[in-house]
Amino acid sequence: MKQEKLSSAAIVEKLETVPGWALRDDGGAITRSFKFRNFAEAFGFMSEMALAAEKLDHHPEWFNVWATVKVDLNTHDAGGITKLDFELAARMEELAKKALA
Ligand code: H2B
C-alpha cells in the first residue's frame, strides 16, 4: 500500500504517542536511542524486531554498539515520514519495555 507522507504538524502530534522518540535534526526521520543492559539484550531486541519489521515490510535504519541500539525510521518509498514509521516505533517500544522489564 502506498503510504502518504505526514505533514510536520501530524508528525509533531504523533510523536506524543511514542515517548522517547524525536524528529531527527534534519527532519528526515524519527529517531531514538535504546540502551539495554548488555549486548545480548540489544541484539535480542534487534533479532525480534527484524522479524516484526519483515512482517510489516518496513525496515529500520539502525546502528548497534554493545548495549546501545540507535534507530532512525522513515519511508524512502514516500520520501518522508509516514504512519508506518510510527507503527514500527510503537512496536519497538513494546518490545524494548519487555526486554527491560
Ligand atoms: N522500509 C522502510 N523503512 N521504508 C520503505 O520505504 C520501505 C521499507 N520500503 N521496506 C519497502 C521495504 C519496499 O522497498 C519494498 C519494495 O516493499
Span 45-89, pLDDT tens digits:
999 999 999 999 999 999 999 999 999 999 999 999 999 999 999
Distances (CA, A) of 24 to 54, 72, 90: 24, 8, 17
CATH of domain 26-100: 3.30.1360.20
Element (H, E) at 62: strand 61-65
Contacts with 64 (C-beta within 8 Å, 6 or more apart), sequence order: 42, 43, 46, 70
The rounded Å distance from CA 56 to ligand 1 centre is 9
Q: Which amino acid is located at 34 in the chain?
A: F
**Confidence tier at 26 by pLDDT (50, 70, 90):** very high
Q: Which three cell numbers stand for residue 9?
A: 504538524
Measured from CB, residues less than 6 Å from any atom of ligand 1 are 57-59, 75-77
Q: Which residue in 43, 38, 34 sits closest to 96, CA to CA?
A: 34
The percentage of residues in the chain with a pLDDT greater than 70, rounded to a whole number, is: 99
Which residue among 77, 81, 84 has the greatest number of ligand 1 atoms within 8 angstroms of its CB, and so is best to mutate? 77
**Confidence tier at 35 by pLDDT (50, 70, 90):** very high
What region does 95 belong to: left with phi over 0, alpha with psi -120 to 50, or beta?
Answer: alpha
Look at 96 and 100; give whichever has higher pLDDT. Answer: 96
Which atom of ligand 1 approaches the CA of 59 most closely? 1
